[in-house]
Amino acid sequence: MDSINWEEMKAIDANCSQLGLLPIQLMENAGSSVSKEISSRFSGGKILLIAGRGNNGGDAFVAARHLCQFPQFQVEVILLGNAASIRTEEARKNFLLLRHCNINSINEITYPGDEKLSRSINNAEIIVDGILGTGVTGNIKEPEASAIELINSSGKYVISIDVPSGTMDTKSEVPKCVKADLTITFHKMKEELNRLPASHYTGEVKVEGIGICSHAERFIGIGNLRNLNIRKPDSHKGQAGRILIIGGGAYSGAPALAALAALRTGADIVTVAAPSNVASTIASFSPDLIVRCLSGQRLCIDDLPLITELACKHDVIVMGMGLGNEDGVEKTARRIIPLCKKIVLDADALPAFEEAKGIASEIVITPHAREFSRIRKVETSVDMNKRIEEVMTFSKEKNVVTLLKGKVDIISDGKKVMLNRTGNAGMSVGGTGDVLAGITGALLAANSPIKAAACAAYINGAAGDLAFNDKGYGLLATDIIERITDVMRE
């Protein structure tokens, strides 16, 4: 069964909102599906829904509203906390609606010893767990912890919404997770439920559709950006990534653009290692750049000692922009790749990626269609479905993440495929690919290759769209760099 993790589901929810499918609509669909499943399995009885203060609780409120329309059910709701502490607007609205429904009783429990909680659990025949959702870590606080213990010791039939509430840790001294007889999860099976010791808690798992837009999962959106690891408020210089750009010789602008893009994306330190004939020109682009001068007018074997030293001091290497295609350049690039823990290969460094076979590096390559054809020695298909299959197959065979640039960017690690449709025809101007490489390198410092590549494609295209609104077809690669922060602030 196809499955996703809680982080991916969180991104999908946000992408749905970006497309116009609002969180309150998804909550309605989720709660309604819980009600339908319960009414199809049980002929009647006393149902107690125990809700937390987040969206999981909101799903429970919706389920209660639907269930109370069946005369055979006596419905009671307990909120763990008070109404003022409900964390989302969607959950709050659905809680307030319960006051206008035929609910037997609605109680707010703010401390663990409240007898109303134990009395309600004892009187119920079916308990619906809507206390905590996905992504819970650490110790469970009160009154949630006591509620979980009471549910588990009740002997009643327990239904968990999305996931059993708590942390699934069998090493705990006391149970920290609801032990459900049935778990109703949404959209797709959650990876967390597939792992041990989850099966000790989930009981039967039923997957219910809630009307997710297929494009919210297939195309990269703002939800994916929100899952990025970013600079923490208490971080110091270097913790957000040290990036080494190796480029230039044949050209000077390309590595400078990549370096400036990496800085705008949030990298702390960006060093450019460039041949002597262009090093001073690159340094003149910005005082924020650190430029190290290589030995000659093109990257060569003599530069390996300096690059080896620099590689040890940087988290990510981005290589290829403006290097040129002389034989010595490619041979040297092949020698550099095994030195890297994380590397982005673009433009003139792409032919050297074969040297990556069998090494443990995290590698992202960023070809356009013609470059992809050259490194595969097979023409790239114009049909989108075939092109997706080609990218996925190639990435799996070569153990790399491929970001194939195009009208629709295709990103794959060989296991899954993500698509990006931000960007515009004005971005055919030179330098936009160099900007993308720099963004990718900055994100790769703190994120997985697939996440870095996917989000870089979105950021680059979205920044280009903002620049196009200002400049039209006169936009420059530097205009895109200036709009990167506007996209990331979303």
User: CATH number, domain at 349?
Assistant: 3.40.1190.20
CA–CA distance from 163 to each of 28, 152, 271 (Å)?
17, 15, 46
Q: Are residues 187 and 273 in the same domain?
A: no
Residue 204 structure tokens = 């039967």
Q: For 133-157, give the DSSP string.
A: -SS--SPPPTTHHHHHHHHHTT--E
Boundary-marking domain end, from 168, 185, 218: 218
Mean pLDDT of 392-419: 96
Q: Are residues 484 and 344 in the same domain?
A: yes
User: What was the pLDDT predicted at 193?
Assistant: 86
Report if residue 272 sits inside a domain.
Answer: yes
Mean pLDDT of 19-40: 97
pLDDT tens, residue by residue, 446-467: 999 999 999 999 999 999 999 9
Task: Give strand ranges (E) for 407-459.
Answer: 409-412, 417-420
Mean pLDDT of 95-117: 92
User: What was the pLDDT predicted at 332?
Assistant: 95
pLDDT tens, residue by residue, 200-250: 899 999 999 999 999 999 999 999 999 998 765 555 455 568 999 999 999
Bridge partner residues of 184 (DSSP): 161, 206
Closest of 60, 81, 67, 61 to residue 36, by C-alpha = 67
**Beta carbons within 8 Å of 168's beta carbon, 6+ residues apart:** 176, 177, 192, 197, 198, 200, 201
pLDDT tens, residue by residue, 300-316: 999 999 999 999 999 99
Phi, psi of 321 (to 5 degrees): -65, 115
Report if residue 312 sits inside a domain.
Answer: yes
User: CATH number, domain at 69?
Assistant: 3.40.50.10260
User: What was the pLDDT predicted at 360?
Assistant: 56
Q: Are residues 188 and 245 in the same domain?
A: no
Phi, psi of 50 (to 5 degrees): -105, 115
Is a pLDDT exceeding 90 seen at residue 416? Answer: yes
Structural domain of 388: 235-488
Total residues found in the chain within this entry: 490
Distance CA 228, CA 222 (A): 10
**3 state SS of 204:** strand
Report if residue 131 sits inside a domain.
Answer: yes
Mean pLDDT of 254-266: 97
Mean pLDDT of 139-144: 89
Is a pLDDT exceeding 90 seen at residue 112? Answer: no
Q: Are residues 21 and 156 in the same domain?
A: yes
Contact 403, 365 (CB under 8 A): yes
Of the pLDDT bands very low, low, confident and very high (cuts 50, 70, 90), residue 113 is: confident
Number of folded domains that form the chain:
2
Better pLDDT: 112 or 163: 163
Report if residue 43 sits inside a domain.
Answer: yes
**3 state SS of 340:** coil
Report if residue 119 sits inside a domain.
Answer: yes
Distance CA 425, CA 302 (A): 41
Distance CA 300, CA 473 (A): 38
Q: Are residues 242 and 318 in the same domain?
A: yes
Instruction: Give the count of beta carbons closer than 10 Å to the beta carbon of residue 85.
Output: 12
Mean pLDDT of 39-49: 96
User: What was the pLDDT predicted at 238?
Assistant: 55
Q: Are residues 391 and 471 in the same domain?
A: yes
Q: Are residues 98 and 190 in the same domain?
A: yes
The pTM score is 0.92
Q: Are residues 110 and 249 in the same domain?
A: no
pLDDT tens, residue by residue, 346-397: 999 999 887 656 565 799 999 999 999 999 999 999 999 999 999 999 999 9
Mean pLDDT of 28-44: 97
Report if residue 90 sits inside a domain.
Answer: yes
Contact 130, 60 (CB under 8 A): yes
Boundary-marking domain end, from 158, 192, 218: 218
Report if residue 224 sits inside a domain.
Answer: no
Q: Are residues 479 and 429 in the same domain?
A: yes
Distance CA 198, CA 57 (A): 21
Q: Are residues 303 and 389 in the same domain?
A: yes
User: What was the pLDDT predicted at 198?
Assistant: 66
pLDDT tens, residue by residue, 16-27: 999 999 999 999
Q: Are residues 340 and 373 in the same domain?
A: yes
User: What was the pLDDT predicted at 430?
Assistant: 93
Residue 24 structure tokens = 């309150």
User: What was the pLDDT predicted at 353?
Assistant: 81
Contact 272, 289 (CB under 8 A): yes
User: What was the pLDDT predicted at 236?
Assistant: 47
Q: Are residues 244 and 208 in the same domain?
A: no
Indicate the average pLDDT of the chain: 92
472: left (phi over 0), alpha (psi -120 to 50) or beta: left
Mean pLDDT of 267-276: 96
Mean pLDDT of 167-195: 81
User: What was the pLDDT predicted at 111?
Assistant: 85
Report if residue 228 sits inside a domain.
Answer: no
User: What was the pLDDT predicted at 247?
Assistant: 97
